[in-house]
């Protein structure tokens, strides 16, 4: 063979080897992207679905089908790698497809998260407005919302994986919505309540359950709020005890109890954060879940103080704004 022909043949061989190696890299990246996309769908759209998007059969089936296609695509790359590498453009086409799918999926999740955060912020503003002039609420729902987030973040990872944080935080914001069904003169009464009035106030979770359950998005939340007043020892209003009380309800119970202790009411003075923490320890194991209380106690006092001060300041600002209108 002539030297020029040998050189040209060697050059072509090197180019083919380079294209083969590049094709392998593109297929490997595509495989990884398909698996990441499948994981994102399972985590964000099925397992950690947003509270504002009810997981109906159609949406659940659609999410499962998308996951199946993504996994099938990854398996197909593994099984047909040799055939794909035999065609120069195939690896690049598959890589382009995987990149487009990943971009669209990230964009969709971003839009859903944005819509969820916007809805929660709007709900928080509405709760501020509804509670600002109620002397026995004083921004209680927003305070419980922030306390619930602290408690969730303080829990061991195995417990956090059992809870949908988006739904939990919505439940915290809606914790006082049952107060809408309680006579205003009773909600704003100065001094201690009579036994009959206390029984009437205890109906707030049932009222909240009826109000929230009408929304398809918040049916699970309604049950958590209804059972958030139950006691671990089973001596509560519904007689449910221990693990039969949903974990979300047990988290809300700790947040609500702490908020009730540290916020001032017309019939009692507020307690300091250390005093409230000691009170949680006393009722731990009887009224409240011991594990959740122990986790919450580990939250830095400075963080809770900052939250309480922020809630108090915002409550005063909204009251001043209302008085100037």
Backbone angles phi, psi at 210, to 5 degrees: -70, -40
Entry field: residues in the chain = 325
User: pTM of the predicted model, to two decimals?
Assistant: 0.76
101: which 2 tokens?
């799918």
* pLDDT at residue 283, rounded to an integer: 93
User: Among positive and negative, which fits the CA dihedral 282, 286, 292, 294?
Assistant: positive
Any idea what the Cα angle at residue 265 is, between residues 184 and 173, rounded to 5°?
Answer: 70
Residue 311 Cα to chain centre, angstroms:
21
Interval 220-241: pLDDT, tens: 888 898 888 889 998 888 888 8
Report which of 159, 185, 175, 273 is spatially closest to residue 228, judged by C-alpha positions. Answer: 175
Interval 11-47: pLDDT, tens: 445 555 555 578 788 889 999 999 999 998 888 777 7
- Residue 212, Cβ neighbours under 10 Å: how many? 23
Cα gap 257→147, rounded to integer Å: 10
Interval 134-145: pLDDT, tens: 666 777 888 999
Interval 83-140: pLDDT, tens: 887 777 888 888 999 999 999 999 988 888 887 788 777 877 777 766 666 666 777 8
Are 191 and 266 a contacting pair, CB within 8 Å?
A: yes
What is the DSSP track for 182-213? S-HHHHT--SPPPHHHHHHHTTHHHHHHHHHH
Report which of 124, 125, 118, 120 is spatially closest to residue 321, judged by C-alpha positions. Answer: 125
- Residue 298, Cβ neighbours under 10 Å: how many? 8
Residue 80 Cα to chain centre, angstroms:
40
């Amino acid at each position: 063979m002539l030297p020029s022909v040998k050189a040209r043949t060697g050059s072509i061989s090197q180019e083919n080897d380079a294209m083969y190696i590049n094709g392998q890299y593109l297929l490997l990246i595509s495989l990884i992207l398909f698996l990441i996309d499948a994981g994102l769908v399972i985590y964000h759209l099925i397992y950690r679905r947003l509270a504002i998007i009810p997981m109906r059969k159609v949406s659940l089936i659609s999410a499962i089908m998308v996951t199946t296609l993504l996994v099938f695509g990854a398996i197909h790359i593994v099984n047909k790698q040799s055939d794909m590498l035999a065609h120069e453009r195939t690896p690049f086409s598959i890589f382009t497809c995987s990149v487009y799918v990943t971009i669209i999926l990230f964009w969709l999740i971003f839009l859903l998260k944005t819509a969820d955060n916007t809805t929660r912020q709007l709900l928080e503003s509405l709760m501020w407005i509804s509670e600002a002039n109620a002397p026995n609420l004083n921004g209680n729902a927003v305070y419980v919302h922030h306390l619930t987030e602290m408690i969730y973040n303080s829990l061991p990872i195995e417990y956090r994986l059992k809870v949908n944080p988006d739904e939990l935080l919505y439940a915290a914001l809606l914790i006082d919505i049952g107060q809408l069904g309680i006579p205003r003169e009773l909600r704003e009464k100065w001094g201690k309540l009579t036994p009959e009035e206390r029984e009437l106030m205890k109906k707030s979770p049932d009222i909240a359950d009826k109000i929230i359950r009408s929304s398809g998005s918040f049916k699970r939340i309604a049950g958590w709020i209804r059972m958030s007043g139950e006691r671990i020892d089973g001596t509560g209003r519904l007689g449910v005890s221990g693990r039969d009380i949903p974990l979300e309800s047990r988290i809300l119970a700790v947040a609500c109890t702490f908020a009730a202790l540290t916020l001032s009411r017309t019939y009692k003075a507020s307690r300091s954060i250390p005093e409230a923490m000691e009170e949680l320890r006393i009722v731990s194991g009887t009224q409240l879940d011991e594990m959740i209380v122990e986790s919450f106690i580990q939250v830095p006092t400075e963080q809770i103080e900052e939250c309480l001060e922020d809630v108090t300041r915002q409550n005063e600002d909204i009251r001043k704004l209302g008085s100037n209108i």
